[in-house]
Amino acid sequence: MRRGFLLDKSKVKKSAEQETKQESKPEINDVDPIVRPLRYGKVDYDNDLPRPKYNIAIDPVQGTIKSDRKTLILVTVPPRGSAAALNEDEHTEWITFEETKSRIFKTPGLPKPLPKPKGDTPLYEVKMTPNMGMGVFATRDISLGELVFAERPLLVAPINVNVLELSTPPDERYQKILLDEYEKIFEPAFDRMSKGNQTAYKALMNSHTEDGSGLLTGIARTNGYGVSALYDGPGPKATHHAQRYTVIGHVASRINHSCIANVDRSFDMAAFAFVFKAAVDIKAGEQLFISYCEAAASVADRQRELAPYGIVCKCRVCTNATPESDKFRQEYDRRTREYQVRNAALMSGADASWPNDKELNELQQVREMAIKEHLHNRTAYRYILGALFMGYAQRKMFAAAQEVMKLIEQNEAVFVGT
Ligand SMILES: [Zn+2]
């Protein structure tokens, strides 16, 4: 029997599905004095202010650069000429700091070749949709858990120009200056991309045309994803938003949003690549969707999070939202974390009472509601299943327990919890 679902405490909070698209803004409750939110929409600025000073250096590939918090380096991953890239487009340009590069480059196996899906023909095609611009569609039936594609990002950059210790005053008038400087940081990295990747990058959507963003940073702000394992600083994870990176993919950027996602995105650090797997069985011709927003949030919060992308989500979960469904979603993470803790207590022998009849009944209702709200394609769902498994096994309901165990194994195979 596999028991990881009951004992894995390290992955309680930040799992892959919680890495939503990254706007250049602080997270809620993320109090960070050096980060100011970048505005979107039509914004006017005073441009006549002093400019901050910083350096950009080229990664020497061999050896390291003496670097500080005012010196960014431009890195190509994998390095040009590496066997881990089959052609010139399979490289990422990364704007970072020396210490961050050194830490990430210690990842075992890096640089590893890109994972390849089964068969010779791509499992997806990019084409026009009737109402969402470009979209990505399945070219054949794809089974739950199957690799749809993996790709290296076109560009990885600091989430915000505030990553640099520039000592600019906390004054909104400086936003335009900072946006200009942010664009200037992107330009030399863009120049290092292959021609194919430059064309792909410039063809991506830009929903930041009126807020002072340049073209390259506007595209990054529209299309970038966060990757929890990519951050600056010595700790085991980012402690504030400004330490994080925005990761701009090619096909990844063409996948449209739905709260009812059918593919799951993770990041394979050794391959330095996005990995997209089927989160459900997908039929040939279906459009692929991921969620750009926090899944376990109310409909109002989700729409607010989607607004900078110019998206008004009309998925079934959004259109059918009620105060009850909102409440359920807002409590989902807390609830599943609690199940995880109680499952672990049961397994360790600290609490033999879980789940009692009333709790088992509640778990069944939570499971039904999670399916209805489409929250079952996430790591956290396995803690509901884990509790149900224990409840059924204790009551000698072996067929039900076995069925749930199968679902747990599927969940573990797809949602790696990275
Ligand atoms: Zn929706």
- Hunting for tokens 């109090």 — which residue is that? 31
Question: Same domain, yes or no, for 182 and 239?
Answer: yes
Q: Where are the beta strands (DSSP E) in 238-367?
A: 245-248, 256-257, 263-268, 273-278, 289-290
Per-residue model confidence (pLDDT) at position 157: 96
- Residue 307 Cα to ligand 1 midpoint, Å, equals 12
On whether residue 11 sits in a domain, the answer given is: no
Model confidence at 46, pLDDT cuts 50, 70, 90, reads low
On whether residue 141 sits in a domain, the answer given is: yes
Question: Same domain, yes or no, for 157 and 182?
Answer: yes
- Residue 206 Cα to ligand 1 midpoint, Å, equals 21
On whether residue 1 sits in a domain, the answer given is: no
Q: Per-residue pLDDT averaged across 287-311, rounded? A: 91
- Residue 77 Cα to ligand 1 midpoint, Å, equals 35
Q: From residue 359, give the alpha-carbon distance in Å to each of 327, 349, 386, 390, 411.
A: 19, 18, 13, 12, 22
Q: Per-residue pLDDT averaged across 79-101, rounded? A: 95
Q: Is the dihedral of CA 207, 213, 219, 221 positive or negative?
A: negative
Question: Same domain, yes or no, for 227 and 296?
Answer: yes
Q: From residue 1, give the alpha-carbon distance in Å to each of 353, 386, 408.
A: 21, 12, 11
On whether residue 389 sits in a domain, the answer given is: yes
Single pTM value for the model = 0.82
The Cα–Cα gap between 94 and 78 comes to: 10
- Residue 290 Cα to ligand 1 midpoint, Å, equals 11
Which of these, 156, 212, 204, 155, lies nearest to 181 by C-alpha position? 212
Question: Same domain, yes or no, for 353 and 219?
Answer: no
Model confidence at 15, pLDDT cuts 50, 70, 90, reads very low
Cβ contacts of 153 within 8 Å, gap of 6 or more = 92, 247, 248, 249, 250, 252, 272, 273, 274
Model confidence at 304, pLDDT cuts 50, 70, 90, reads very high
Question: Same domain, yes or no, for 110 and 242?
Answer: yes
Retrieve residue 402's tokens: 């076995």
Question: Same domain, yes or no, for 281 and 402?
Answer: no
Q: Is 254 left (phi over 0), alpha (psi -120 to 50) or beta?
A: alpha
Per-residue model confidence (pLDDT) at position 26: 33
- Residue 299 Cα to ligand 1 midpoint, Å, equals 7
Task: Provide the residue range defining the domain that includes 354.
Answer: 320-414
- Residue 295 Cα to ligand 1 midpoint, Å, equals 9
3-state helix, strand, coil in the chain (%, to 5): 35, 15, 50
Per-residue model confidence (pLDDT) at position 45: 58
- Residue 372 Cα to ligand 1 midpoint, Å, equals 13
What pLDDT, in 10s, does the model give residues 104-160? 999 999 999 999 999 899 999 999 999 888 999 999 999 999 999 999 999 999 988
Cβ contacts of 177 within 8 Å, gap of 6 or more = 45, 47, 49, 51, 52, 168
**Does the pLDDT value for residue 276 go beyond 70?**
yes
Per-residue model confidence (pLDDT) at position 357: 97
Question: Same domain, yes or no, for 45 and 136?
Answer: yes
Question: Same domain, yes or no, for 290 and 339?
Answer: no
Per-residue model confidence (pLDDT) at position 105: 94
Secondary structure tally for the chain: helices H, strands E: 11, 12
- Residue 297 Cα to ligand 1 midpoint, Å, equals 11
Question: Same domain, yes or no, for 335 and 372?
Answer: yes
On whether residue 101 sits in a domain, the answer given is: yes
Q: Per-residue pLDDT averaged across 308-312, rounded? A: 84
- Residue 318 Cα to ligand 1 midpoint, Å, equals 4
Direct distance between the N- and C-terminal alpha carbons of the chain, in angstroms, rounded to an integer: 22
Choice among 36-40, 149-153, 295-299, 408-412 with the minimum mean pLDDT = 36-40
On whether residue 42 sits in a domain, the answer given is: yes
Model confidence at 49, pLDDT cuts 50, 70, 90, reads low
User: Considering the chain, what is the average pLDDT of its residues?
Assistant: 86
Per-residue model confidence (pLDDT) at position 9: 32
On whether residue 30 sits in a domain, the answer given is: yes
Model confidence at 96, pLDDT cuts 50, 70, 90, reads very high
Residue type, 218: G
On whether residue 136 sits in a domain, the answer given is: yes
- Residue 321 Cα to ligand 1 midpoint, Å, equals 9
- Residue 305 Cα to ligand 1 midpoint, Å, equals 11
Question: Same domain, yes or no, for 341 and 286?
Answer: no
Question: Same domain, yes or no, for 282 and 380?
Answer: no
Domain boundary among 270, 285, 317: 317
Retrieve residue 21's tokens: 């698209």
Number of structural domains, the chain? Answer: 2
Question: Same domain, yes or no, for 146 and 64?
Answer: yes
Following DSSP, what letter does each residue of 33-79 receive, concatenated?
TT--PPP-SS------SPPP--EEEE--SSS-----TTEEEEEEESP
Q: Which residue has the higher pLDDT, 60 or 230?
A: 230
CATH no. for residue 238? 2.170.270.10
